[in-house]
Amino acid sequence: MNVIEIKPVTGRINTIIRVPGSKSYTNRALITTALADGISSINNALFSDDTHYMASCLNSLGIPVEERKDTNTFIVNGKGGCIPAEKANLFVGNAGTAMRFLTALLTLGYGVYEIGGVERMGQRPIQDLLEGLNQLGAEVKSKLDNGCPPVIIKGKGLKGGKAIVNGDLSSQYFSALLMVSPYAENDVTIEVKGDLVSKRYVDMTIDLMGKHGVTVENIGYKRLLVKSGQRYKTISYEVEGDASAASYFFAVAAITGGRVRVEGVGKDSLQGDVQFADVLKKMGCHVDRGRDWIEVSGRALHGVDVDMGDMPDVAQTLAAVAVYVKGKTRVRNVKNMRIKETDRIAAVAKELRKMGISVTEYEDGFEIEPSMPKPAEIETYDDHRMAMSFALIGLKSDGIFIKNPKCVSKTFPNYFQLIEKLRG
Ligand SMILES: O=C(O)C1=C[C@@H](OP(=O)(O)O)[C@@H](O)[C@H](O)C1
Ligand SMILES: C=C(OP(=O)(O)O)C(=O)O
């Protein structure tokens, strides 16, 4: 495991950058185009661990996915709702979307399938999705009976009907259910028990399904209705830039007092993480938006008290910014950060404390009382977002080292090259 030092920037940063395609849209599109009948292309796709796991699983299932590296395109030869393989043992690393979406996809097959991942994947809950699928007539279970992967799917087609699913852990369960529902024998009604977390990801799913000509009725995130018999049309799909990836560059502007325009994601994006720019605005940054870009300029900043329930993946980015502002920052309503790549609330608190910063940990978030960070070697817990966020702190203070920086390959393989390029 190697370690890199992030050195402070010297001059003022004033730059334009383009971030890779969205992980969430790329992995959704791999599923929906696999279900369409014939050739689709996914352009400006993200090429990273999470999307490679998804693509290689589809290939193992007999659904050909070709990677064109020169153009960041996936060419998918969809099988119209059929899963050619009758047996497969799939590995998805720590890709939550691949695990959840493939579990649902395989209920449409006829065969026996197993999906597993790295050790941490074996601690990330999936029981609510399994119960939802079983209510729709599937036969899926947690192999070790602990509500977590590996999962076993005895494919026999999906009947449809009504499923009542807890909304408080992950929106990915709902995206997974929605994407396969048109291929169920009967109409599907999904009832959300409690309040749904990460709602914007469900909007993204419905939006992409719409691009294929499939409609979903969303009744206030309480009931989701999908008519059976709808079929995904093949598409040539342009993936927009990844808003979570963009957050690190907005934070660069905020922390260093510079100006960064990120191209590839703009004012009409449905990605919840674009709201990170609004949080920075609340802290005192200047924010501009165009059709295909968002620009942040740093100013003197102050702490905020924010609900990040619609953007859990950028709460760590905010933690890095919070170190350099005046006054406390409180992040709320992101309890499910604890079940992601690591327990992200505990990890943020522990690593900031190493730098001498005072942090209060809550069940649903954290509060940071800023002070000048002391030199520290930061543990990243194999969490790409720990590595990417905590590196930002090093752009303004000496002696910040990041352990295992390669873990950024989960969603952003060239992250550190882009950060280095900012120095000009
Ligand atoms: O649907 C998606 O693409 C995602 C949903 C979110 O997960 P939860 O719904 O589990 O919060 C997010 O954290 C993840 O990175 C991607
Ligand atoms: C939580 C994340 O990923 P996933 O749940 O898709 O593994 C993430 O990318 O921050």
Give yes or no for residue 295 CB within 6 A of ligand 1: no
Q: Are 218 and 188 contacting, i.e. CB atoms less than 8 angstroms apart?
A: no
Q: Which of 248, 270, 142, 279 is nearest to 201 (CA)?
A: 270
Under 8 Å between Cβ of 371 and 356: yes
Mean of pLDDT values over 312-338: 98
The mean pLDDT value for 269-294 works out to: 98
How many angstroms separate the alpha carbon of residue 95 from the centre of ligand 2?
Answer: 6
| Mean pLDDT, the chain, integer | 98
33 lines ligand 1 (CB under 6 A): no
Q: Are 296 and 287 in contact (CB under 8 A)?
A: yes
336 is in an annotated binding site: yes
Report the C-alpha gap between 181 and 226 in whole angstroms. 6
3-class DSSP state for residue 211? Answer: helix
Segments making up each domain of the chain, as ranges? 3-20+242-421, 23-226
Query: Which among 418, 381, 380 has a CA at the least distance from the CA of 402?
Result: 380
Which CATH class name applies to 23-226?
alpha beta
Tell me, what's the pLDDT at 424? Answer: 72
pLDDT of residue 423: 87
Shared fold status for 3-20+242-421 and 23-226: yes
> Ligand 1: distance of its center to the CA of 13 in Å?
31
The stretch 404-408 carries a mean pLDDT of: 98
- State pLDDT tens for residues 135-145: 999 999 999 99
Residue range 340-347: average pLDDT? 98
Under the banding of pLDDT at 50, 70 and 90, the label for residue 1 is: low
* d(C-alpha 343, C-alpha 88), whole Å: 30
The HSE-up count of residue 294 (CA atoms within 13 Å, CB side) is 31
- Helix ranges (DSSP H) in 9-138: 23-35, 49-60, 96-106, 127-135
pLDDT at residue number 12: 95
Q: Is 199 in the pocket of ligand 2 (CB under 6 A)?
A: no
Let me know if domain 3-20+242-421 sits in CATH 3.40.50.1980: no
pLDDT (tens digit, 9 = 90+) per residue, 70-93? 999 999 999 999 999 999 999 999
How crowded is residue 200: how many other Cβ atoms within 10 Å of its Cβ?
20
